[in-house]
Amino acid sequence: MEINSLIVDSPPRDAATVVILREGSQGMEVLMLKRHTDSKDLGGAFVFPGGKRDEADVHPNALATLGQDLTHLHSQLGEKDISLEHAGSLFIAALREAQEECGLQLNSIDLQPWTRWITPRMPSMMSKRFDTRFFLARAPTAQIAVHDNHETTEILWATPRHALLRYWQGEIVLAPPQIMSLCNLCLFANIDEAMADAASRQPPVIQPEPFDREGNRVICYPGDPRHTLTTQAVPGPTRLEFKNKRFEPEGGLAALLHGHL
Residue 177 covered by a domain: yes
Residue 2 covered by a domain: no
Q: Could you give the 3-state DSSP secondary structure of residue 49?
A: coil
**How many other C-beta atoms lie within 10 A of the C-beta of residue 256?**
26
Residue 7 covered by a domain: no
Residue 1 covered by a domain: no
pLDDT in tens, 172-196: 999 999 999 999 999 999 999 999 9
Residue 122 covered by a domain: yes
Residue 39 covered by a domain: yes
pTM above 0.85, yes or no: yes
* Count of domains for the chain: 1
> CATH number for the domain including 176?
3.90.79.10
Residue 222 covered by a domain: yes
Residue 175 covered by a domain: yes
Give which of 116, 177, 137, 125 is closest to 31, Cα–Cα: 137
Specify the pLDDT at position 259.
Answer: 84
Over the range 170-186, which residues count as b (16 or more CB within 10 Å of their CB) and which as e? eebbbbbbbbbbbbbbb
**Containing structural domain, residue 150:** 13-256
pLDDT in tens, 134-167: 999 999 999 999 987 777 779 999 999 999 999 9
